[in-house]
Amino acid sequence: MSRSDDEPDELHAWRVLSDAGLVEIGPDEFAERIKDVKRIVTVRLRELLDFNTGVQERESAAYSLGTLKGLELKVLASAPKPPDSSKV
C-alpha cells in the first residue's frame, strides 16, 4: 500500500484500518481479526528480538500478545456453536 505525502494522518490511518477490516468489526469477525493482529504483533516482536533492540517495545509487544491470546480464547469459548448436523 502506498501513501501520498499530502494525505492527512487520519485519512491514512482510516485507510489502513479499513483495508484490515478493523474500523467496525462485525460480530462474527472478532476471532479472525484478533488472529490478524496477533500475527502483526508476532512479526514485530520477532524483529525486535532479532535486532536485540527496543526492550520497552519488546516487553509491551509481548504483553499485548498475551492480552490478545487471552481475548481470543474467551471469544472462541463464547462463540455460538454451529448446528449439530448429526441431529438433522
Residues that bind another protein (CB under 8 A): 8-11, 13-14, 16-17, 20, 22-25, 27-28, 30, 33-34, 36-37, 40-41, 43-44, 47, 51, 53, 60-61, 63-64, 67-68, 70-71, 74-75, 78
Task: Give me 47's grid cell.
Answer: 524483529
Contact 60, 44 (CB under 8 A): no
Residue 82 or 87: the one with the smaller Cβ distance to another protein is: 82
Closest Cα to residue 28, out of 78, 67, 64? 78
Q: Per this entry, what is the length of the chain?
A: 88
Shortest distance, CB of residue 82 to another protein, whole angstroms?
A: 15
